[in-house]
Amino acid sequence: MKMRFVDEFRNPELIRKTLDEIERIIEPDDHFRIMEACGGHTYSIFHFGLQELLPKNIEFIHGPGCPVCVLPPGRVDEGLEIASKNSDVIFTAFGDVMRVPGKKGSPLNYKAMGTDVRMIYSPLDALNIAIKNPDKKIILFAIGFETTAPSTAITVLKAKELDIDNFFVYSNHVKIVPVLKSILDQPNMRIDGFIGPGHASVVIGAHPYEIIAKEYKKPVVISGFEPLDLLQSILMLIKQLKNGESKVEIQYKRVVMEGGNVSALEIIDQVFEDRPAFEWRGLGAIQNSALKLKPEFAKWDAEVQFNVEKITIEENKDAQCGEVLKGMLKPNQCKLFGKVCTPDNPVGALMVSSEGACATYYNHLYSTMSL
Amino acid sequence: MCLAIPGKIIELLDDNLAMIDVSGVRRKVNISLIKHENVQVDDWVLIHVGFAMNKISEEQAKEQLQLLAEIGEEQEALAEVKGYQFE
Ligand code: SF4
């Protein structure tokens, strides 16, 4: 096992103090299950070996915070089908989406088969492709939690301003709080507190999590991504739990404001509305958990402008992505993990993105085993 | 795609754009989401998918860059910034 030494970190003294304080507060009979809701946190926890530094009675549950991981299988195919059936359509998506396995293959496989698939780094790049290719129709496969939604919204407003009529958004934007609520509503779910996502919270701030603290009585601490950030957040959570409290606190104060980014929230509101229900991988349909374009932006809504064929995919019956997303199984407990399903040959989306729980487990398990 | 990248504003441009510098890579990003923060040249911002999400301190920017380096995502972050092709 690769041992992490505290001295390797920046601020080793503060790290040591924080760890000591956690050790001091926690008692042998405690067993806290803490869900980190963001894929970036999952990645940091593994990368820095934080589980090994912490007392055994603190357990991390890896939450649904990677936007490609939570897409139901079929969603990417639906977008790709439009492009593969119409030779004048260009399918654009972020790099994370490119390798998500679908019914007939990933976007990269479609590209190899002749569909015009292009990787973009910003929604604005998709709009630029539209401007440069007036005889083509550009579909932006939009994805992401509240961090990304305002950027898509601005791009739509820009398309309106410039009167671009060959740019279409296929929206898969999702919302963090409804999915956390839905996880808490699952039978036999035991989560004691949440490490709230750092960057989605830049947009939404702390208030939307109040419902989790007040109604579900679970503390939420919005955290940064450094080892010290995460350890401080765990300390804040444990203090609340030991005091029987459940509040929303911000550890990542240098980046996250209590009220979020007001302009970003206004722009989301201007362009998007809640979908009555949206299907999540492994979690089923969750009410008001995703965003679609408002009717006044129908001209740029791929779901309105194209005949989107609903594609449902029979998943490999041994794939346990749903259980992993709900925190009921650790990734390596999935029957396919590491044998059938690997980052090079992903069966489920959790193995695709570097922020997916299965890919993170796989990469770290193998890097530590080889030492 | 979820980690934000810190950059320094080196020029304010028309159309809600600004030229930013991330470890020597210069590209245009959109600043409409932080307009209310009265952005100036030399401010540091966190960038996500081509948009500045908020202002941060220089110290915080350096920390974030170091974090990206520590987790081996620095090259990917720079590739992302190079990818922005706004006119
Ligand atoms: S190992 Fe593969 S199939 Fe199993 S849960 Fe992870 S992504 Fe899904």
Q: Which residue has the tokens 């030991």?
A: A242
pLDDT in tens, A306-355: 988 788 777 788 989 888 888 888 899 999 999 899 988 888 888 887 77
Q: How far is CA A108 from CA A66, A76, A226, in A?
A: 20, 12, 33
State which amino acid sits at residue A147. T
A347 within ligand 1 shell (Cβ under 6 A): yes
Is B54 in Cβ contact with A151 (below 8 Å)? no
Q: Hey, how many other C-beta atoms are within 10 angstroms of the C-beta on A244?
A: 7
A250-A18-A215-A245 Cα dihedral, nearest 10 degrees:
-120
A337 within ligand 1 shell (Cβ under 6 A): yes
Give the Cα separation of A364 and B9 in Å (integer): 36
A274-300 average pLDDT score = 94
- Mapping DSSP to helix (H, G, I), strand (E, B) and coil, where does residue B40 land? coil
Counting every residue, how long is chain A? 371
- Joined together, the tokens standing for residue A116 give 């015009």
Beta strands in chain A (DSSP E): 32-36, 58-62, 89-94, 117-120, 137-144, 167-173, 193-196, 220-222, 248-250, 272-274, 277-280, 284-287, 291-293
- Report pLDDT for A131: 97
Q: What is the number of CB-based contacts under 8 A between chain A and chain B?
A: 106
Confidence category of residue A3, pLDDT binned at 50, 70, 90: low
Burial environment of residue A194 by CB neighbours within 10 A (0 to 12, 13 to 18, 19 or more): buried
pLDDT in tens, A126-147: 999 999 999 999 999 999 999 9
A334 within ligand 1 shell (Cβ under 6 A): yes
Burial environment of residue A188 by CB neighbours within 10 A (0 to 12, 13 to 18, 19 or more): exposed
Confidence category of residue A368, pLDDT binned at 50, 70, 90: low
Q: Hey, how many other C-beta atoms are within 10 angstroms of the C-beta on A142?
A: 28
Give the Cα separation of B20 and B48 in Å (integer): 13
DSSP structure class, residue B18 = E
- Report pLDDT for A371: 38
pLDDT at A1 over 60: no
pLDDT at A272 over 90: yes
- Report pLDDT for A127: 97
Q: Decide yes or no: CATH 3.40.50.300 for domain B5-82.
A: no
- Joined together, the tokens standing for residue B55 give 């202002």
CA dihedral over B33, A276, A79, A323, signed as positive or negative? positive
A275-295 average pLDDT score = 93
Partner residue opposite A40 with nearest CB, options B3, B70, B85 = B3
